Amino acid sequence: MRLIFVFLSLVLLSKNGFSQSVSKGYEALNEFDFFKAKRIFEKKAKRHPVASHYGLALIRFDKLNHFHSYDSAFVQVMLADSFFGKISARERIDLLDFGISDTALAGLQNRIYYAAFEEAKNKNTPEAYSHYATFFRFSEFEEEARFKEVDRAFQLADSAGTSAALSAFINKYPGSFRDEQARQLLDDALFREFTADQSIKSYEAFISGYPESSHRGEADDALYALNVKSFSTDELYSFVKKYPKNRNSEEAWDMIYADFTADQRVESFEAFKQKFPEYPYQERLRRDVKLASIPLYPAVNGDLWGYVDSTGKNVLTWQFEEAWNFTENLAMVRLNDKIGYINKAGIKVVKPAYDDGEPFKNQLAVVEKDGLYGLIDPRGQVVLPIEYEMVSGPVNGFYQVSKDDLYGFADRFGKLRIQPQYENTDDFSEGLAAVTSNGLVGFIDTNGSVKVPFKYDVALQFQDGAARVMRNELVGVIDTTGKEVIFAENDRVGAFSEGLCKVTRDGRCAFFDRKGKEVISFKSWCSAPVLGVDGFSEGLARIEKSGKKGYIDRSGKLVIPARYEESGYFSSGRATFRSRRKWGYIDKKGKTVIEARFDEAAPFSGRLARVKKDGFYGLISTEGEMKLPASYDDIIQDGEFYLLKKDDKMQILSSELKPLTELVWDDIRRTDDPHVFRLSIGIKLALFHTTLQKVFWEESGLEKE
């Protein structure tokens, strides 16, 4: 800074027009006597304004004196410059003795600009930058100062982080380059301040006050979570009525709609319409009602699949590499070796993008991509991330999932409820699931809370409040609280049948009820389990004495003596028995109603039973009448129908044993649709409708022998 005054030591003080006092002012200035110099310059300012104001500017510019002020220095140099423009050429020549020229004035002015700006930067406050930009408005740093003013003011408002500070910034600097960012931060601050207590009331107030906020969606989601906890229809319905404009209202309606119309019956849609007249998606409802009444079935033509109706008409053209039945009005299809889902209009609701998948169940479908599994909804949105090694279900409202060889559960909405943490899991039954931890089995509830401690080696599912468990190779029964109603001290415990289970201990057997009461005491008439039933059926249970089979009633009384080589359980009032390697049937009094003349005899299913004689199968009535001669290679009961096989050909019979197809088919099997069988001859297919009781579609080129 002192260099500014070096020239003064070289100046020969002139007498030409300037008083000795002005020269003395510069002498004082050169000797750093700022008080004397200031007094002289102020006194001579009127007579010699350029030299005086320039001298005052130099004093004010120097930081090492009490008079330092860049503002004042700037005022003084501007005054000097102003007067300099009004003096004569001769006077300007005289001023050169003091180093004063238009170049010197401009140079000092620029040095003041620079120094003042550095001072503002050192202070680094909006006020300092604002003052500089206002006071030194023609400086080359003016624009930068205004930029820094706004930027620093923004930094301070951002650091404060309050809506008040951010609002003040926006009001003071409207339209600034930080305006958009400040408004977003203000939006964030308002959301944070309004919803600090995370209550329903605070989220409602925020939405009411700031409906256009970028946090509106978060507030909507929070209200959804706070109001809908169990996802019951009542909760969901209350939510959509209270918050019809919430962004989750469509999802809530979808869940109500899906739950109410899960069976996809026209009657269910009509009932839904009556119960929820304010349902906002009436066009969808009308469409689904119409589509629900039109069953479509996958069919193949050459290498491509399409869909036909019950008349055999091709409704969706041959275009898919593979096709499955419609479930919940969506069907899984394969295109370009990828799985997707279409609706009955043929629209690809979920574009083919997956390596594999399963049909929709309860509005969700399991999909697989790159060897990992997840869940999607009917709109194709991933609701459970595709990152699991296994997803199976749903069973009783829950999916089993696995990750890193550990197992957990997701609920029926695809939300991960219990993190994968167990070595093994079983499906939920009656609100509890058997899970394995550190090699031992216990039970958890649907919230993941342990309800039965981990102390068993094996545990089966709960049925009617009871579950069989094994510890140290001994078996017992627990209730849903974990209490052992039958202590784990038995060799075997059979499944409950007609309210009782058979308990085997040390070669003796008894029957217990679900509360653990010993209804029939231990006796030495144990028999090995019979296929299908291990205990009571139709009021009687099989026992064994001296290698012979008989039956007791629920009081433990022997009502059919132990005289049979082998026997089965009762169904339709009949039980099989074996005598001299032949099978027949007895009634519940032990009377032989069908003589032992068959090589094999199955339990009755309804009024008919399958029997085998001389290497062939037939059907017999409960009275022993052969309803279908024993002339078939096999007879398979499938629901109300019988599938007959003879000489490698098959046909379908009704429950009344009326032939519904010819005996010409190479294979007959159920499809995913309970009303349809798939028939084949060679590689050609046909479809049989069980309600219409006819083949309603055949692949072109199919020839019957």
Q: Three-state secondary structure along 602-661?
A: CCCECCEEEEEECCEEEEEECCCCEEEEEEECEEEEECCEEEEEECCEEEEECCCCCECC
Report the distance separating Cα 421 and Cα 632, nearest Å. 52
| Residue position matching structure tokens 């999909």 | 367
The predicted structure's pLDDT at residue 9: 39
Band of pLDDT at residue 2, cut at 50, 70 and 90: very low
Which pairs from 169-176 meet CB under 8 Å and 24+ separation?
Answer: 176/150
Q: Mean pLDDT, to the nearest integer, of 524-541? A: 86
The predicted structure's pLDDT at residue 123: 96
Q: At 253, which helix (H) or strand (E)?
A: helix 249-260
Report the distance separating Cα 657 and Cα 296, nearest Å. 28
| Residue position matching structure tokens 């003084």 | 76
The predicted structure's pLDDT at residue 263: 56
Partners of 676 in beta bridges = 689
Find out whether 393 and 433 touch, Cβ atoms under 8 Å.
Answer: no
Q: Mean pLDDT, to the nearest integer, of 116-143? A: 95
Partners of 511 in beta bridges = 502, 520
**Residue after which a domain boundary falls, among 72, 94, 123:** 123
The predicted structure's pLDDT at residue 288: 78
Q: Mean pLDDT, to the nearest integer, of 630-652? A: 95
Q: Mean pLDDT, to the nearest integer, of 351-356? A: 96
Band of pLDDT at residue 8, cut at 50, 70 and 90: very low
DSSP string computed for 40-55: HHHHTTTTSHHHHHHH
Paired tokens of 518: 């010993």
The predicted structure's pLDDT at residue 506: 93
Q: Mean pLDDT, to the nearest integer, of 198-207? A: 95
Find out whether 469 and 458 touch, Cβ atoms under 8 Å.
Answer: yes
Residue 637 placed within a domain: yes
Report the distance separating Cα 550 and Cα 541, nearest Å. 8
Report the distance separating Cα 594 and Cα 158, nearest Å. 94
The predicted structure's pLDDT at residue 468: 95
Residues 6+ apart with CB under 8 A from 381: none
Find out whether 535 and 499 touch, Cβ atoms under 8 Å.
Answer: no
Cα-based torsion angle of the residue sequence 554, 560, 565, 571 in order, rounded to the nearest 10 degrees? -60
Residue 229 placed within a domain: no
Amino acid making up residue 385: P
**Is the pTM for the entire model greater than 0.85?**
no
Q: Mean pLDDT, to the nearest integer, of 307-325? A: 93
Residue 602 placed within a domain: no
Phi/psi for 197 (5° steps) reads -85, -5
Paired tokens of 71: 């503002």
CA 185 to chain centroid, in Å, comes to 29
Residue 92 placed within a domain: yes
**Residue after which a domain boundary falls, among 97, 123, 149:** 123
The predicted structure's pLDDT at residue 21: 78
* Structural domain span for residue 657: 633-705
174 pLDDT exceeds 90? yes
Of 283-292, 425-434, 600-609, the poorest mean pLDDT is in 283-292
Residue 101 placed within a domain: yes
374 pLDDT exceeds 90? yes
The predicted structure's pLDDT at residue 264: 57
The predicted structure's pLDDT at residue 18: 58
603 pLDDT exceeds 90? yes
Length of the chain equals 705
Q: Mean pLDDT, to the nearest integer, of 677-684? A: 91
The predicted structure's pLDDT at residue 347: 82
Residue 105 placed within a domain: yes
Partners of 471 in beta bridges = 474
Band of pLDDT at residue 15, cut at 50, 70 and 90: very low
- If one counts the domains in the chain, the total is 2
Burial category of 359 from C-beta neighbours within 10 Å (exposed 0-12, middle 13-18, buried 19 and up): middle
pLDDT over 90 percentage in the chain: 82
Q: Mean pLDDT, to the nearest integer, of 372-382? A: 92
Residue 100 placed within a domain: yes
Look up the CATH number of the domain holding residue 705: 2.40.10
Angle at alpha carbon of residue 528, lines to 525 and 534, rounded to 5°: 95
Over residues 254-284, the pLDDT tens digits come to: 889 877 775 556 788 889 999 999 999 998 8
Find out whether 46 and 122 touch, Cβ atoms under 8 Å.
Answer: no
Over residues 484-501, the pLDDT tens digits come to: 999 999 999 999 999 999
The predicted structure's pLDDT at residue 553: 96
Residue 87 placed within a domain: yes
**Residue after which a domain boundary falls, among 123, 158, 191:** 123
User: For residue 499, what are the CA distances in angstroms to 496, 517, 603?
Assistant: 6, 11, 21
Paired tokens of 335: 């295109």
The predicted structure's pLDDT at residue 6: 37
Report the distance separating Cα 328 and Cα 348, nearest Å. 15
Over residues 19-34, the pLDDT tens digits come to: 567 999 999 999 999 9
Amino acid making up residue 595: E
Helix (H, G, I), strand (E, B) or coil at 669: strand
Q: What is the 3-state secondary structure (H, E, C) of 279-345?
A: CCCHHHHHHHHHHHCCCCEEEEECCEEEEECCCCCEEEEEEECEEEEEECCEEEEEECCEEEEEECC
Report the distance separating Cα 269 and Cα 263, nearest Å. 9
Over residues 447-498, the pLDDT tens digits come to: 999 999 999 999 999 999 999 999 999 999 999 999 999 999 999 999 999 9
The mean of the pLDDT values for the chain is 91
Within a 10 A sphere around the Cβ of 17, how many other Cβ atoms? 13
Partners of 327 in beta bridges = 330
397 pLDDT exceeds 80? yes
Among 524, 570, 523, which Cα is nearest to 551's? 570
The predicted structure's pLDDT at residue 323: 95
Report the distance separating Cα 120 and Cα 114, nearest Å. 10
Find out whether 493 and 534 touch, Cβ atoms under 8 Å.
Answer: no
